[in-house]
Structure 1
Amino acid sequence: MFFALLVPDSGDTGPRDRLADGIAIVLALAYGSVMVVLGDAADPGAFLPLPADVAAGVAAAAALLVRRRHPLGVTVALLPLGAISVMATGPILIALFTAAIRLPARVPILLGALNVATAGLYFLLHDRPAADIWVDFAMRGVVTAAALGWGLFTQAYRRLTASLRDQAARLESEQQLRADQARLTERARIAREMHDVLAHRMSLISLHAGALEVRGTVSAEELSIAAGAIRTGAHDALDELRAVVGVARTRPEPPQPGLGDLPELVAGVREAGMSVDFTSVVPADGPPVVLGRTAYRIIQEGLTNAHRHGSGPAASVRVRGAAGHGLRITIINPLGGTGGAAAPRDGLGLIGIAERVALAGGTVRFGPEREEFRLEAELPWPA
């Protein structure tokens, strides 16, 4: 807004503030000059001679340089000039406009009323006024109301925009905190799941090693079998440990479900009243434990989102993959038209899925497509 430039939000230094001072003084002198020409300041009956009137107006305009730091003091100091000088009416209006932006509303309104009242004093001090007193009151009342109204509007607009900026910043901060909390929760959950699996692997290794230690002498075939079991167990434990490095572990939980438990998961969702079209094309031996558990959690969360945010109790789940080709999971649920539900707004469950997929070294994408919400995850499945 152009007039808002007269009173910047910043301090009293800088190019914009100096520009504001220049514009304010130019506008004040321009308005005062017009009033001098149109009014009766040059008449013989004027209270001040024309040169003195102009000098008073110029001095009042110079006082506008400090109007932003002292809006009340400058306005109060300039108001008496409105009773004797026509040229000073311009600076007075700029001072009122500044006061309306910087001060509580009741203060500039009172100052505006005093400015209108000085029109009566000007009429009384003028020897032979050309117009009736009501003309002076009407003219000064209109311009005073315009200055105050625009100033109060600017003040309200600035407060509103500042409030919206603060609210947006607060909401962004809160959303970031929720996202961070979701990531930490998901990492802690993964750590709890991994703990029992790793403990099981290490127990098997310890068991085989202990057997070799106790028996003393073993055949070459038995030694080869035991060594192979130890090597396989250590390799699997290291693979699972890599997925958990850096994730804080809390209390252990019972062993977690895997890909083989998906039919039971889908059956439970169907029993809850949701229609699920489930297709799984995975080799009989299935993926590694870690991969299967990750896939299970992704599908579990995807069905939860479909139940919460879908327009109807329905979803489609596709699981395809093989060793060396990766594992692909696709979950689709309808969103409906204008009357249907919307896509997830907070996205905390989706953040958990993204965190889990990232730790597994995979990729995930999700979002609405043609009135459907589509979630696709691809996980690596080593050969």
Structure 2
Amino acid sequence: MDDTGARETWEHRLLLPGELRFGGGRTPARRTGRDWLVDTLMFGFAVLLWAASLGIVEDADYLPRWIVVADAPAGALACLALWWRRRFPLLLAVAMLPLSVFSSTFVGALSVAIFNLAVRVPWRTASLVVLAHLAVTTPYLIVYTIPDEGGWTGVAFVVAFVLFLLTWGTAVRVRRELVARLRADARRERAEHARRLADARRAEREAIAREMHDVLAHRISLLSVHAGALAYRTGASARGAEPLSDAEIGDTAQLIRDTAHQALEELREVLTVLRGSGATEGAPQPGLGDVEDLVAEARRAGQRVRWTGAYERAASGLRGQVQRTAYRVVQEGLTNARKHAPEAEVTVVVAGGPGEGLSIAVRNTLPARGGHGRGGVDAGPIPGAGAGLAGLEERVVLDGGTLRHGAGPTAFELVAELPWPPAAPGPAD
């Protein structure tokens, strides 16, 4: 099948040489419609010259009788041998060397053989074979052509015609090899393009997966905390504790509703990007200035958070993407602490400035083994995908920063270092 597509057209099946249709080789296993047509025309050409030469040879009284008798069968045999010209081009041309000594009726077959040789054999080899034919036919030219068949003009015509066939065949071979190389280059380029496209799609899917994790994991963990607290207080009321008031139940339900609404809105923004619908018309992307709101939201959910913000509030010169990454680092740290150490105190420190870099550190004390959740009830871990830190590390590296995380003797620490270039100088006074 042709490499230009999954389906061949009639042009590929009929008009391309077999060498190009079946992979660029010089001896294809099958012939195309064009090959059959060319073979028929060349065989007809050889037979036509053979038939036209019969009368000339019969009338040439200057030729020995043995040449007149052997010429016609030799020429017919050479025409039949053209059937193997594609598979054995060099062998066929060499096998015709004895006929060049005496035969005139095989000129058509020899012309086809020389042209075929130049098309399918390197030009050095083809040139040597052609020179050999000229060498073995030299006695005939000297003894019969010069005195009786046109003189030196006839000799010049024979030499020029043979060289023309050699040059023409070589040009065809060079062109076919060039086309084959171009087609091979096109195949490699298409394969490389497909690979780059697959890599781009995979990178895009990974980026979307990171974004969905960063957005939804935080909101869903908040929902889990609020719902767990409501279930715990309701269960405690059934065991004789002071029941929840209608206002407390309403506030908790409203908080759960608001958190779910925010999760759906953020999910809608991510899905809009996934569908290729362009930028959304919702709220702007979170940045460094939204970190305090994120901390306040965690506190409202009952998480104990100590917050220190020692950075330039205007965030001059800090790219929006880097600010967003800083926000995601704090978000991931709070989410992980809420999942794995719900009772732990969390410390969030954001510090830095232009030219100094931006440092984000989120630390939480490790939970006691076999500990319980709020009020002595085993809260159980909040399930997660387990890919948040890996995705966050990729995001930080893409922004030119570094991320380290791990558990120490008493605390788990998540620290990110992001670049913050110096502020652009203002106009001279």
Q: Scaled by the length of structure 1, what TM-score is found?
A: 0.57
CA distance in structure 2 between the aligned counterparts of 1:157 and 1:14, rounded to whole angstroms: 18
What do the CA deviations read for 1:61-94 (whole angstroms, capped 9, x no partner)?
Answer: 1110111111111111112212211111111111
| 1:33–1:121 Cα change, 3 Å | farther
| Separation of aligned partners in 2, 1:84 and 1:32 | 14
Hey, what's the Cα distance between the residues in 1 that align with 2:107 and 2:249?
107
% identity of equivalent residues:
35
Counterparts of 1:193-204 in structure 2, within 5 Å, are: 193-204=211-222
Shift of the 261–230 alpha-carbon distance from structure 1 to 2, 3 Å rule, reads: closer
How is 1:6-45 mapped onto 2 (pairs within 5 angstroms)? Answer: 8-9=18-19, 10-13=28-31, 15-33=33-51, 42-45=59-62
TM-aligned CA distance change 1:128 to 1:208, over 3 Å: closer
Deviation (angstroms), 1:240: 5.2
CA deviations 1:31-71 (Å, max 9, x no partner) are 4555667x776310124565643332222111101111111
Amino acid at match of 2:256: I
1:162 to 160, 180, 183: 180
Aligned length: 256
Aligned 8 A contact 1:36 1:87 in 2: yes
- Tell me, in whole angstroms, the C-alpha distance in 1 between the residues paired with 2:260 and 2:96: 89
- Which residue, 104, 119, 130 being the options, matches 1:101? 119
State whether structure 2 residue 255 is matched by structure 1 residue 229: yes
Question: Which whole-Å CA distance do the structure 1 matches of 2:193 and 2:245 have between them?
Answer: 63
Q: Does 1:175 align with 2:193?
A: yes
1:117 counterpart letter in structure 2? A
Which residue in 1 is equivalent to 2:226?
208
The residue aligned with 1:119 is 137
Q: Secondary structure at the match of 1:46?
A: coil
Which residue is equivalent to 1:218? Answer: 244
What is the CA–CA distance in structure 1 between the aligned matches of 2:191 and 2:142, rounded to whole Å?
62
The one-letter code sitting in structure 2 at the alignment partner of 1:111 is V
What pairs with 1:324-343 in structure 2 (closer than 5 Å)? none
Aligned-partner residue type, residue 43 of structure 1: A
Which residue does the alignment assign to 1:84? 102
Question: Structure 2: which amino acid aligns with 1:60?
Answer: A
Please point out which of 151, 159, 171 is paired with 1:153: 171
Are the aligned partners of 1:41 and 1:49 in contact in 2 as well (CA < 8 Å)? no
Gaps of 5+ in 1: 246-256, 271-383
Matches of residues 287-298 of structure 1 in structure 2 within 5 Å? Answer: none
Change in 2 beyond 3 A, CA 1:6/1:96 = farther
Q: Does 1:53 align with 2:79?
A: no
Consecutive unaligned residues in structure 2, runs of 5 or more = 1-14, 20-27, 238-242, 272-282, 290-313, 321-429
Q: Deviations over 1:327-383 (max 9, x none)?
A: xxxxxxxxxxxxxxxxxxxxxxxxxxxxxxxxxxxxxxxxxxxxxxxxxxxxxxxxx
Where does 1:232-381 land on structure 2 (aligned, <5 Å)? 232-237=258-263, 258-259=284-285
Work out the CA distance in 2 between the residues paired with 1:141 and 1:118: 13
Aligned-pair CA distance for 1:123? 3.1
Contact in 2 for aligned 1:109/1:148 (Cα 8 Å) = yes
Cα pair 1:11 1:17 within 8 Å, conserved: no
Which residue is equivalent to 2:344?
none
Name the CA distance, whole Å, in 1 between partners of 2:70 and 2:127.
29
CA distance, structure 1, for counterparts of residue 16 and residue 71 of structure 2: 25
Pick the aligned partner of 2:93 from 64, 72, 75: 75
For residues 224 and 127 of structure 2, what CA distance do their matches in structure 1 show?
A: 87
Q: Distance in 1 between matches of 2:315 and 2:91?
A: 75
Question: Cα–Cα, structure 1 residues 132 and 119, in superposed 2: closer, same or farther, change >3 Å?
Answer: farther
Task: Give the deviation of 1:194 after TM superposition.
Answer: 2.3
- The two structures have a TM-score, normalised by structure 2, of 0.51
State how far apart, in whole Å, the 1-side matches of 2:75 and 2:17 are: 20
Deviation at 1:181, TM superposition (A): 0.8
Larger Rg: 2
* Cα separation, partners in 2 of 1:14 and 1:266, compared to 1, 3 Å: farther
Select between 139-148 and 46-55 the one with higher mean Cα deviation.
Answer: 46-55
Structure 2 CA distance for aligned equivalents of residues 186 and 127 of structure 1: 78
What secondary structure, in the 3-state scheme, does the structure 1 residue paired with 2:63 have?
coil
- 8 Å contact 1:208–1:226 — kept in the other structure? yes
SS at match of 2:147: coil
Distance in 1 (alpha carbons) for counterparts of 2:218 and 2:41? 79
Identify if the C-alpha distance between structure 1 residues 205 and 14 changes in structure 2 by more than 3 Å, giving closer, same or farther: closer
Residues 6 and 97 of structure 1: CA distance in aligned 2, closer, same or farther (over 3 Å): farther
